[in-house]
Amino acid sequence: MSQREVTAVIVGAGERGANAYGPRIHRPGVGRIVGLAEPDDGRRRAAAARFAVSSDACVPTWDELFARPRMADVAVVATGDTQHVEPTLLALARGYHVLLEKPMALDDDGCRRIVEAAEAAQRNVVVCHVYRHSHLFAALHRVVASGALGRVLSIQLAENVAYWHYAHSYVRGLTRRSRVPMLLQKSCHDLDLLAWIAGAPARTVTSLLRPTELTAANAPPGAPERCSDGCPHAATCPYDAVALYARLEPVLNDLARHDRLALRALAATVRRLRPVVQQAPLASIRRLAEWRRWPLTAVSDDASVAAVENALRTTRWGRCAWQVGDNDQPAAQTVDVAFANGVLASFTMHSSADRSMRRVRVDGTHGSAVGELAGLEQWLEVSDHKTGTTRRTDFPVTTDGHGGGEGPLVDELLRAVRDGTPAATSARDAWESHRIAFAAMRSAADGIAVRLDAA
Ligand SMILES: NC(=O)c1ccc[n+]([C@@H]2O[C@H](COP(=O)([O-])OP(=O)(O)OC[C@H]3O[C@@H](n4cnc5c(N)ncnc54)[C@H](O)[C@@H]3O)[C@@H](O)[C@H]2O)c1
């Protein structure tokens, strides 16, 4: 018997709404996108065409969308970080279930309002904590829940953010100001994983923070304001925008490091041939060299060489990373958490890793688990103290940038909507990671240990 197609509207047809979640919902026999709110004309038209949404169901803002009677089961709220609470509350008031991008809110009060509204309306609000559904963390959670490690004593987790990812998102990008703290914006995923694996609410939180290195005082002498203006340090500066966006060097370097997949030769070939293909007389051939994925999708909707070079000359993406001036996201932050069941967790986020990756270890009375998630690859090793044996699992390659978590996250919400049952994670569950982040920010600012009561 075929299942009912779940319908959805997208609020914010940007990178996440239109490129990540839209296509995962809009599948025959699974779901259909039937409406859009997006102020950018080009993005709105492109998403309408992609999902075959009629023009009268496409509006510029969420206000206009939610002023109308409910037109779908789900609202995908994928607007920017400061714009999550209001559309979510309006969507719930109209009776939508919500797929909500993280962070759910920028303060505790915003989270509380969403949780209370979701519970009062008896609607699912699934916050996009995609890593719970990644191969690595889903398997790690199963191992812990099975009791194979005995009683869990401690968790160590590191989010190693690549130097260029940091420069892209947290120095040149929209999230360069710490009024949306990087710990909340980026690492609420990790704090969520800690709380989920610990299996208890947080009780005490402490945190330390190191300010950014990317300041004008540290800029190499004589560096111009834009990397494309003939910077004398281009050959040695890791943050050179031309190398990052026009030549895609860090992306190709990362590809080359996938040892298990033997991608070194592929990366070398792309590096050699891409400049040649970019000069081809036919536009159809030149397009083969275009990279239509993040981080270039953030820089220019048009991926041609000319458009990218123009963006580097005219937009913030071409600015010298040392001289942006109004960026204050930290170079590193540590967070220690004592959970109500005694589990101790320590988390490090930092901004200067050779490649973006997460490392985790969980130690219990009877065993240890160690895992890594980087780029396309992830693995987990589980050891038994008594027998001395270690079992290693190499997980399938994933290309969603989130360890394969995006598909299962969406599927779980669609299942819950179809079945009329609560989704596996609630808004209240997601609130816990945010509470830890708010407490950590207070701890780092005031130099105190912050105690949390039950929410
Ligand atoms: N879960 C994850 O792992 C993950 C990964 C990346 C980003 N994110 C989060 O996803 C969110 C969106 O990020 P993005 O990269 O897609 O941003 P984006 O800027 O590409 O998209 C946001 C869109 O919202 C639109 N918008 C602005 N005002 C609006 C309004 N009033 N009504 C409707 N639409 C409006 C913008 O025009 C834009 O197109 C952010 O909060 C980000 O932190 C989550």
Does this model's pTM top 0.75? My answer is yes
Residue 18 CA: nearest ligand 1 atom is: 16
- To the nearest 10°, report the CA torsion of 275, 277, 280, 285: -150
The CATH 3.40.50.720 domain(s) of the chain lie at 6-123
CA atoms within 13 A on the CB side of 403: 25
Q: Please state which of the four CATH numbers 3.10.580.10, 3.40.50.740, 3.30.450.20, 3.40.50.720 is assigned to the domain occupying 6-123.
A: 3.40.50.720
* Sign of the dihedral through C-alpha 51, 56, 60, 66: negative
Query: Both tokens of residue 139?
Result: 């398997």
Q: How far is the CA of 101 from the centre of ligand 1 (A)?
A: 8
Q: Which residues have any ligand 1 atom within 6 Å of their CB?
A: 11-17, 37-40, 43, 61-62, 78-81, 83, 101-102, 128, 130, 185, 402
pLDDT of residue 401: 86
Backbone angles phi, psi at 450, to 5 degrees: -105, 125
Query: Both tokens of residue 364?
Result: 């219990």
**321 neighbors 167 (Cβ within 8 angstroms):** yes
Burial 410-448 (b: 16+ CB within 10 A, else e): bebbbebbeeeeebbbbbbbbbbbbbbbbbbbebbeeee
Q: Residue whose CA is closest, atom 25 of ligand 1?
A: 12
Q: Model confidence over 331-358: pLDDT tens digits?
A: 999 999 999 999 999 999 999 999 999 9
pLDDT of residue 294: 87
Q: Residue whose CA is closest, atom 18 of ligand 1?
A: 14
Q: How far is the CA of 81 from the centre of ligand 1 (A)?
A: 7
pLDDT of residue 254: 87
Best probe residue, ligand 1, of 9, 10, 11, 16 (max atoms within 8 Å of C-beta): 16
pLDDT of residue 1: 61
CA 285, CA 289: separation in Å to the nearest integer? Answer: 8
Q: How far is the CA of 409 from the centre of ligand 1 (A)?
A: 18
Starting at the edge strand found earlier in the chain, the sheet holding 58-59 runs: 58-59, 31-37, 6-11, 74-77, 97-100, 125-127
10 Å Cβ neighbour count for 449?
14
126 contact partners, CB below 8 Å, separation of at least 6: 97, 98, 99, 100, 409, 412, 413, 416, 423, 425
pLDDT of residue 42: 94
The CATH 3.30.360.10 domain(s) of the chain lie at 132-214+327-451
Q: How far is the CA of 60 from the centre of ligand 1 (A)?
A: 14
Taking CA 184 as the corner, what is the angle to CA 179 and CA 187, rounded to the nearest 5 degrees? 140
Residue 294 CA: nearest ligand 1 atom is: 15
Q: Model confidence over 396-454: pLDDT tens digits?
A: 999 888 999 999 999 999 999 999 999 999 999 999 999 999 999 999 999 999 999 87
pLDDT of residue 301: 84
CA 103, CA 37: separation in Å to the nearest integer? Answer: 20
Q: How far is the CA of 84 from the centre of ligand 1 (A)?
A: 9
Q: Residue whose CA is closest, atom 5 of ligand 1?
A: 16
295 contact partners, CB below 8 Å, separation of at least 6: 165, 168, 169, 244, 245, 251
Query: Both tokens of residue 16?
Result: 């996440």
Which positions of the chain have pLDDT values less than 70? 1
Q: Please state which of the four CATH numbers 3.40.50.2300, 3.30.930.10, 3.30.460.80, 3.30.360.10 is assigned to the domain occupying 132-214+327-451.
A: 3.30.360.10
Best probe residue, ligand 1, of 64, 66, 79, 85 (max atoms within 8 Å of C-beta): 79
CA 156, CA 162: separation in Å to the nearest integer? Answer: 19
* Residue 145 CB burial class (10 angstroms; 0-12, 13-18, ≥19): exposed
